[in-house]
């Protein structure tokens, strides 16, 4: 299919021309351009942006070159050319001279042709990468340009450099040749062919150059500022169009999807809130609850994401929302990604609701036979008000009498498709609340989660003591062990966590066992008891071991990252993480969140070998310096790039040509604000000033990408 890469098909006829019709291309090169770099049309070539520019006016002096430069550019003449070496090591060596000295230019391949085409004693501009061969600095296979007047004039001139492939180069389509094709195209292109797609007001507000100008200038900038402004405009365009699409998708869902109306706050909610709430809500919890309330009174389906750092109190918000459902004659369910988490949720919710007449039940894969049957009956006949469980809730056999609210905890463990299955649990889709502890910067969350509304719990319950985090190396292991001993003597508990990486499971297992033996030797029974938990254990054994730690029968929990999500043992005050280097920042933060849940001062000890790489050191420093999940996730993105944030990799939504949602955050924010403002005034884009944008959207053909976003 043509157009696969073409995201700007508002181009007029000429830009939809097949690439082989461009001057200098033809059928053979056309085929190659399609195959190698997916350039099908004139428009595709126009959007084939340079990845860097070479400043053709910055000249190095030969005498100053010392071999540590990356690329250099020199100006001078060839004073001598010889062919050296035998057989396969035969090469052409040209002695090149400027006013400061001489250097060798060397060609190992294609040297016969170079020998014929190069001339002595004419002025060249030479560009290449310095290499050192037998202790002598030289330039191998440099680019050779006859010095043009334009360059010699000394006016700044940036040459665009385009990505190319070996196959393209072999057919003469070097970076330079691609640049030439682009110039051919621009020469025959009138700016009128490139229609504006950003409303004028936005262009003016952010001082963006017109679209046509940006396309010309990104390929042919007259200077650095020029190319920067062209890029800024085109990045803004990419992000703005993406935001417009996301916002429109959301608007459409809001207009179309009917939802249940939770019109009253009734007795159940009020009784619980006034008489049984064990603490007062934080401001953030109250705010999010209000947002949920607003979502559920309008007769539209709620689709809301609640982000809140570990320990910020998401469960209470979920519970209160479920009580609202009950007050309005609906059932609610809460789905968690693991059996352990579901059990914990069930236990704490059942305890909290003990004094009320709300019926809560638990359904997981391990509940079988009669017990299961009884629960399923209670769900269908409406006896059960709140059903807590794992993805077992998604099974067809789980049919509700009247499900009004479905809550999903720890969203990133569930796929979009699974979430969609919850929609089918009633005649009208129930309200959906997704809770995640992976803090993502707000604008990014809106980009990734598409049409979900986002709420943030950005406040911790009062009285928490910030966790003290330290870095310790192998040398200090005895002190770390003694420290654990002291804490246990004070009646506290400790976690020791080992990394788990799928492709070396065996090794991880061995590490864990070795660690376990060491810990056991240091903490002998009957004074100390240890629980061990890992993925290779049968579920029930793992369960028992976990349970013993939860109830305080064991003092130390040796585990792999299976404990990462959700486990709540407020008495645990120490988290020791082994081989810290092998964890990502967000994961470290999740693990650390297992402690600091009670009133006691808690500690996180990051263990590493005695030598630590610069990279690891940087991550460890972030952990030591802050407890703030948002700062950590920003840092994580900075270090690893957005592609590594869980759930974003396959979404396709982060595939921008120019924009980088981390580095270009200010542009992303501005694009989001503009998009929202425009759609607020003119949701169907009917105003004349939005016509260009509307035409552009209509002409975009790659709908498939967008249908993937939910």
- Contact positions toward ligand ADP, by CB under 6 A? 279, 281-282, 285, 308, 310-316, 437, 461, 568, 597
Residue of closest CB approach to ligand ADP: 313
297 secondary structure, DSSP code: S
Nearer to ligand ADP, 75 or 314 (CB): 314
Backbone angles phi, psi at 4, to 5 degrees: -60, -35
Task: Specify the residue, 626 or 702, whose C-beta has the smaller distance to ligand ADP.
Answer: 626
What share of residues in the chain are helix, strand, coil (percent, to 5)? 45, 20, 35
Cα separation of 667 and 665, whole Å?
Answer: 5
Minimal distance, residue 609 CB to ligand ADP, in Å: 31
| Rounded Cα gap, residues 690 and 679, in angstroms | 10
For the bound state, the minimum distance from the C-beta of residue 534 to ligand ADP, rounded and expressed in Å, comes to 23
Burial 351-386 (b: 16+ CB within 10 A, else e): ebbeebebbbbbbbeebeeeebeebbebbeeeebbb
Query: Least distance to ligand ADP from the beta carbon of 318, Å?
Result: 8
Give burial (CB, 10 Å; 0-12/13-18/19+) of 706.
Answer: middle
CB of residue 544 to ligand ADP, shortest distance in Å? 23
| Minimum separation from the CB atom of position 156 to ligand ADP (A) | 55
Task: Please provide the size of the chain in residues.
Answer: 710
Q: Give start and end residues of each alpha helix (H) in 133-264.
A: 149-152, 166-170, 175-187, 200-205, 211-219, 224-256
**Minimal distance in Å, beta carbon 569 to ligand ADP?**
10
In whole angstroms, what is the distance from residue 684 CA to residue 673 CA? 17
230 burial class (0-12, 13-18, 19+ CB within 10 angstroms)? buried
Least distance between ligand ADP and beta carbon 300 (Å): 26
Tell the smallest beta-carbon distance from residue 310 to ligand ADP (Å).
4
- Rounded CA-CA distance 43/39 in Å is 8
- What is the CB neighbour count within 10 angstroms for residue 546? 23
Q: Are 366 and 347 in contact (CB under 8 A)?
A: no
User: What are the backbone angles phi and psi of residue 207, rounded to the nearest 5°?
Assistant: 45, 60
- Pair 318, 409: CB distance under 8 Å: yes
If one counts every other C-beta atom within 10 angstroms of the C-beta of residue 553, the result is 10
Query: Min. distance of Cβ 254 from ligand ADP in angstroms?
Result: 27
Q: How far is CA 681 from CA 30, 426, 579, 612, 685, in A?
A: 45, 34, 54, 55, 9
- DSSP strands (E only) in 566-648: 572-577, 603-608
The DSSP code sequence of 644-696 is GSTTTGGG-TT--SS--TTTTHHHHHHHHHHHHHHHHH-TT--SGGGHHHHHH
Cβ at position 281, least distance to ligand ADP in Å = 5
- Name every residue whose Cβ is closer than 8 Å to that of residue 317 and which is 6 or more positions away in sequence: 285, 288, 289, 292, 306, 435, 457
Using CA atoms, how far residue 199 sits from 210, 235, 346, 690, in Å, is 10, 15, 52, 6
- Identify which of residues 30 and 461 has a Cβ nearer to ligand ADP in the complex: 461
Between 568 and 579, name the residue whose CB sits nearer to ligand ADP.
Answer: 568
CB of 435 to ligand ADP, least distance (A): 7
Q: Which residues contact 147 (CB under 8 A, 6 or more apart)?
A: 75, 123, 124, 125
Least gap, CB of 488 to ligand ADP (angstroms): 22
Residue 493: which H helix or E strand, with range?
Answer: strand 493-497
CB 310 within 8 A of CB 341: no
The Cα 224–Cα 156 span in angstroms is: 9
Q: How far is the CB of 592 from ligand ADP (least distance, A)?
A: 12
Closest CA relative to residue 174, chosen from 132, 200, 142, 152: 142
Minimum CB separation from ligand ADP for residue 421, in Å? 23
**Measured from the CB atom, is 158 or 334 closer to ligand ADP?**
334
Tokens of residue 378, six digits: 């209670």
- Name which of 248 and 345 has its Cβ closer to ligand ADP: 345
Q: Cβ of residue 409: shortest distance to ligand ADP, in angstroms?
A: 7
3-class secondary structure, 469: strand
3-state secondary structure 494-559: EEEECCCCHHHHHHHHHHHHHHHHHHHHHCCCCCCCEEEECCCCCHHHHHHHHHHHHCCCCCEEEE
> Closest CB to ligand ADP among 314 and 425?
314
CB-nearer residue toward ligand ADP: 315 or 364: 315
Which of 244, 457 has the CB closer to ligand ADP?
457
Q: Which is nearer to ligand ADP, 352 or 406 (CB)?
A: 352
| Residue 686: CB minimum distance to ligand ADP, A | 43
Give Rg (Cα) of the chain. 32
Separation between Cα atoms, residue 571 and residue 584, nearest integer Å: 26
Could you tell me if 395 and 629 are in contact, meaning their C-beta atoms sit under 8 angstroms apart?
Answer: no
Shortest distance (Å) from residue 351 CB to ligand ADP: 10
């Amino acid at each position: 299919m043509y157009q696969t890469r073409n995201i700007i098909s508002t181009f007029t006829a000429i830009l939809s021309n097949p690439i082989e019709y461009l001057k200098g291309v033809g059928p053979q090169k056309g085929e190659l351009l399609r195959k190698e770099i997916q350039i099908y049309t004139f428009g595709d070539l126009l959007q084939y942006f340079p990845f860097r520019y070479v400043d053709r006016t910055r000249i190095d002096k030969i005498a100053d070159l010392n071999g540590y430069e990356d690329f250099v550019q020199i100006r001078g003449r060839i004073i001598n050319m010889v062919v050296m070496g035998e057989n396969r090591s035969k090469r052409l060596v040209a002695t090149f001279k400027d006013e400061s000295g001489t250097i060798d230019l060397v060609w190992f391949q294609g040297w016969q042709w170079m020998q014929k085409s190069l001339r002595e004693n004419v002025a060249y501009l030479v560009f290449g990468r310095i290499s050192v061969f037998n202790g002598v600095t030289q330039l191998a296979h440099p680019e050779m340009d006859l010095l043009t007047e334009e360059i010699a004039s000394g006016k700044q001139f940036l040459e665009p450099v385009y990505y190319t492939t070996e196959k393209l180069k072999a057919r003469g389509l070097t970076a330079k040749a691609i640049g030439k094709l682009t110039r051919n195209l621009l020469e025959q292109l009138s700016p009128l062919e490139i229609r504006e797609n950003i409303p004028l007001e936005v262009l003016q507000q952010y001082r963006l150059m017109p679209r046509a100008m940006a396309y010309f200038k990104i390929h042919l900038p007259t200077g650095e500022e020029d190319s920067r402004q062209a890029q800024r405009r085109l990045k803004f365009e990419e992000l703005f169009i993406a935001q417009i699409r996301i916002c429109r998708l959301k608007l459409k869902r809001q207009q179309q999807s009917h939802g249940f109306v939770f019109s009253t706050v009734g007795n159940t909610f009020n009784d619980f809130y006034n008489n049984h709430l064990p603490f007062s809500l934080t401001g953030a919890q109250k705010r999010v609850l209000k947002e949920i309330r607003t979502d559920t009174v309008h007769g539209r389906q709620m689709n809301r994401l609640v982000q809140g750092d570990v320990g910020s109190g998401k469960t209470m918000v979920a519970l209160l929302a479920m009580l609202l459902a009950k007050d309005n004659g609906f059932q609610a369910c809460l789905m968690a990604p693991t059996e352990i988490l579901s059990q914990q949720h069930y236990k704490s919710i059942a305890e909290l609701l003990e004094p009320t007449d709300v019926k809560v039940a638990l359904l997981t894969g391990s509940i079988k036979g009669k017990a299961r049957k009884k629960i399923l009956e209670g769900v269908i006949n409406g006896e059960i008000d709140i059903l807590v469980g794992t993805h077992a809730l998604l099974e067809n056999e789980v049919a509700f009498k009247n499900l009004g609210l479905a809550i999903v905890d720890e969203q990133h463990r569930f796929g979009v498709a699974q979430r969609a299955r919850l929609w089918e649990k009633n005649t009208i889709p129930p309200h959906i609340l997704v809770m995640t502890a992976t803090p993502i910067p707000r604008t990014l969350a809106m980009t990734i989660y598409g049409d979900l509304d986002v709420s943030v719990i950005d406040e911790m319950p009062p009285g928490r003591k910030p966790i003290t985090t330290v870095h310790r190396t192998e040398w200090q292991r005895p002190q770390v062990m003694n420290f654990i001993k002291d804490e246990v003597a004070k009646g506290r508990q400790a976690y020791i966590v080992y990394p788990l990486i799928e492709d070396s499971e065996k090794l991880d297992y061995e590490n864990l066992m070795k660690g376990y033996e060491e810990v056991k030797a240091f903490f002998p029974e009957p004074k100390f008891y240890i629980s061990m938990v890992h993925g290779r254990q049968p579920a029930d054994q793992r369960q028992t071991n976990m349970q013993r730690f939860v109830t305080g029968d064991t003092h130390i929990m040796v585990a792999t990252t299976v404990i990462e999500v959700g486990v709540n043992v407020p008495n645990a005050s120490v988290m020791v993480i082994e081989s810290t280097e092998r964890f990502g920042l967000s994961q470290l933060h999740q693990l650390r969140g297992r402690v600091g849940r009670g009133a006691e001062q808690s500690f996180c000890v990051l263990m590493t070998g005695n030598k630590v790489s610069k990279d690891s050191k940087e991550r460890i420093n972030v952990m030591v310096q802050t407890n703030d999940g948002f700062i950590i996730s920003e840092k994580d993105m900075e270090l690893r790039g957005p592609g590594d944030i869980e759930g974003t990799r396959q979404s396709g939504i982060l595939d921008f040509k120019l924009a980088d949602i981390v580095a270009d955050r200010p542009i992303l924010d501005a694009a989001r604000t503009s998009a929202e403002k425009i759609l607020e005034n003119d949701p169907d884009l009917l105003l004349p000033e939005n016509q260009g944008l509307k035409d552009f959207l209509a002409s975009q053909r790659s709908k498939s990408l967008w249908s993937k976003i939910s």
